[in-house]
């Protein structure tokens, strides 16, 4: 079996159990996708006295972390290069570099994009360089994001467990209890509209399909699974439709502001109190702190509202790995850096300050920079909420090799729906149909769940 076929067979054989691996064993055997990497990884012979130089692409400003490594590891020097954090920018740059045979040694790759990199043979098999021995250093579900066919292809970096950021001062002023269910969230939104002098509970961002996916994830939806050698796409299931119907009602009743989040307008509304809550990931703390400084001390964090009172379910938005791309001449050294940058205590604290997310290292929370009261959140030990959220994430959620395209279809459909062309619920069926078409176009077997 050649490397290409082996890689394709491996893409779907990932997960937390043997059953999942066996069910997906041959899902890519009919793939017609060409190999993207112009050269394969090969360890260069050691040259005594000569420094190894690695190039690392990421969108997180981790220069202080890299500087620490370079000071303490003079034999292996890392050149950090900041790239765009999106499919059209960062990932396109990576795929182009793989095709040209000049990819960096290391790159930040989000969990959802890993199957797409596997499909073009873009990742180095790290099991060949001893990565399996590192498994115990990481949160199991994050580690498994980079395991395909029983082989390790990336080192997990960080995730984004979800929570509810809210303005405690305004909730108190308007007599709003922190909602524990989505029904309570809607009721609170109605109070904000009635008493808030133009304020709204939160924004609904049509530009964030990954956020919408997280909402469906929390409700128990599973958009991707495999049966034998086929991909089954299930974006139009009843649970996802319930999520879409919920937010469609919130929009129709003018309980939310429809606009992109992480935009100038959105940040201004956070500052002025026109938006009083955000259903967001742990890494959102840095966005609030950096873009709404005048609200320091007024924010708190609560668990995600539940669909059923008494439940304890969460979801993840974001999450990245540190990958050694295909073609590196220093995979052992790159793996050494990737492991250090994601597990060293001092490195983790520097990464947290740079906003890289919830650490993938096992037991990294206690004693870290995250584990302390925060004045911005009124002295709350708010990361205790995210620590619990991380444990409540259903880790059976999977991604397909065309997740970036799936997000694109969903974003287009949601944008059209909020502009009055169709609805959020109907947008799911169209996105599902297009997702299946994309997989078929790559030579994969695929079908809709219904």
**Tens digits of per-residue pLDDT, 409-432?**
999 999 999 999 989 999 999 999
pTM score, whole prediction: 0.90
Phi, psi (deg, nearest 5) at residue 424: -65, -40
The edge-to-edge listing of strands for the beta sheet with 445-448 is: 224-227, 230-233, 445-448
**Tens digits of per-residue pLDDT, 337-352?**
999 999 999 999 999 9
Q: Residue 31: pLDDT above 70?
A: no
The pLDDT value given to residue 418: 94
Q: Residue 5: pLDDT above 70?
A: no
The pLDDT value given to residue 36: 72
Structural domains in the chain plus CATH codes? 3-159+317-391 (3.40.190.10), 160-315+397-448 (3.40.190.10)
**Radius of gyration for the alpha carbons in the chain, expressed in angstroms and rounded:** 22
């Amino acid at each position: 079996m050649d490397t290409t076929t082996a890689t394709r067979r491996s893409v779907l054989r990932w997960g937390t159990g043997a059953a999942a691996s066996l069910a997906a064993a041959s899902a890519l055997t009919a793939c017609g996708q060409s190999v993207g990497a112009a050269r394969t990884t090969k360890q260069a012979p050691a040259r005594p006295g000569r420094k190894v130089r690695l190039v690392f692409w990421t969108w997180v400003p981790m220069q202080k972390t890299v500087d620490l490594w370079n000071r303490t590891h003079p034999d292996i020097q890392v050149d950090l290069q900041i790239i765009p954090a999106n499919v059209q920018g960062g990932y396109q740059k990576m795929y182009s570099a793989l095709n040209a045979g000049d990819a960096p040694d290391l790159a930040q790759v989000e969990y959802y994009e890993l199957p797409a990199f596997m499909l073009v043979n873009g990742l180095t098999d790290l099991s060949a360089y001893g990565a399996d021995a590192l498994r115990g250093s990481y949160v199991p579900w994050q580690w498994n994001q980079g395991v395909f066919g029983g082989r390790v292809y990336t080192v997990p970096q960080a995730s984004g467990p979800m929570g509810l950021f809210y303005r405690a001062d305004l909730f108190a002023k308007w007599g709003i209890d922190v909602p524990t269910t989505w029904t309570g969230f809607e009721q609170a939104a109605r109070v904000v509209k009635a008493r808030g002098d133009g304020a709204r509970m939160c924004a609904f961002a049509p530009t964030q399909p990954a956020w919408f996916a997280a909402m469906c994830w929390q409700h128990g939806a599973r958009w991707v699974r495999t049966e034998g050698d086929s991909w089954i796409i299930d974006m139009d299931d009843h649970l996802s439709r319930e999520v879409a119907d919920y937010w469609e009602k919130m929009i129709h009743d003018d309980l939310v502001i429809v606009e992109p989040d992480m935009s100038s307008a959105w940040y201004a509304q956070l500052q002025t109190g026109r938006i009083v809550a955000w259903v967001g990931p742990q890494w959102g703390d840095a966005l609030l702190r950096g873009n709404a400084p005048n609200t320091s001390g007024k924010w708190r964090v609560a668990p995600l509202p539940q669909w059923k009172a008494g439940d304890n379910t969460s979801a993840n938005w974001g999450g990245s790995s540190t990958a050694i791309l295909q073609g590196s001449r220093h995979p052992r050294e790159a793996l050494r850096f990737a492991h250090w940058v994601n597990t060293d205590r001092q490195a983790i604290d520097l990464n947290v300050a740079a906003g890289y997310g919830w650490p993938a290292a096992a037991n990294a929370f206690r004693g870290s920079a995250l584990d302390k009261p925060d004045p911005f959140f009124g002295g709350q030990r708010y990361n205790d909420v995210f620590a619990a959220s991380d444990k409540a994430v259903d880790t059976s959620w999977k991604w397909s090799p065309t997740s970036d395209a799936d997000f694109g279809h969903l974003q287009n459909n949601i944008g059209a729906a909020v502009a009055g062309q169709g609805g959020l619920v109907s947008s799911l069926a169209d996105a599902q149909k297009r997702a299946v078409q994309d997989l078929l176009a790559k030579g994969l077997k695929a079908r809709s769940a219904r």
